[in-house]
């Protein structure tokens, strides 16, 4: 398949973002343990928790700033677990800088997923298929 739009047509109502068993360790400290979530195109999710609960670590794993210690991250069916941040950004998966702080600003990540969905569905974004044939 040559474009993400073609991949979405195959996926149909599949996941825009899917995390399966994502764990992030910092030495002996488990910042995230076995996080599994599916977000379908057009859906929105909120990540809530107290200070130190792992919210920022979760976003950093999704965006590639901190690769997960285990588990997989898929964006529109493509495994991006080991992609560097710039490759994820090229695909429309990113997060605003933390210094913006406000909850509303953090929701920009969800809006970016929606925007990427629209661009991909319209065929305006193409990316090489890195999966083995």
pLDDT at 8 over 80: no
What is the tens place of the pLDDT at every residue in 30-53? 999 999 999 988 888 888 888 889
The kind and range of the H/E element at 17 are strand 17-26
Polymer length in residues for the chain: 133
Boundaries of every domain in the chain: 4-121
Supply 127's token pair.
Answer: 């990316």
| CA distance linking residue 5 with residue 78, whole number of Å | 12
pLDDT at 29 over 60: yes
| CA distance linking residue 77 with residue 75, whole number of Å | 5
What is the tens place of the pLDDT at every residue in 67-102? 999 999 999 999 999 999 989 888 888 765 555 555
In 3D space, the residue among 48, 1, 46, 39 whose CA is nearest the CA of residue 19 turns out to be 39
- State the CATH architecture for 4-121: 3-Layer(aba) Sandwich (3.40)
Supply the DSSP symbol for 42: T
- pTM metric for this prediction: 0.65
């Amino acid at each position: 398949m040559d474009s993400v739009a073609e991949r979405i047509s195959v996926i149909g109502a599949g996941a825009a973002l899917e995390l399966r068993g994502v764990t992030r360790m910092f030495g002996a400290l488990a910042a995230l343990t076995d996080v599994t979530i599916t977000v379908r195109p057009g859906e929105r999710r909120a990540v809530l928790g107290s200070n130190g609960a792992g919210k920022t670590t979760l976003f950093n794993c999704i965006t590639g700033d901190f690769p997960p210690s285990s588990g997989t991250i898929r964006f529109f069916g493509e495994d991006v677990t080991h992609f560097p941040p710039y490759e994820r950004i090229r695909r429309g998966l990113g997060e605003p800088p933390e210094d913006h702080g406000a909850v509303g600003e953090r929701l920009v990540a969800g809006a970016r997923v929606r925007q990427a969905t629209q661009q991909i569905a319209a065929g305006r974004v193409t990316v090489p298929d890195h999966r083995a044939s």
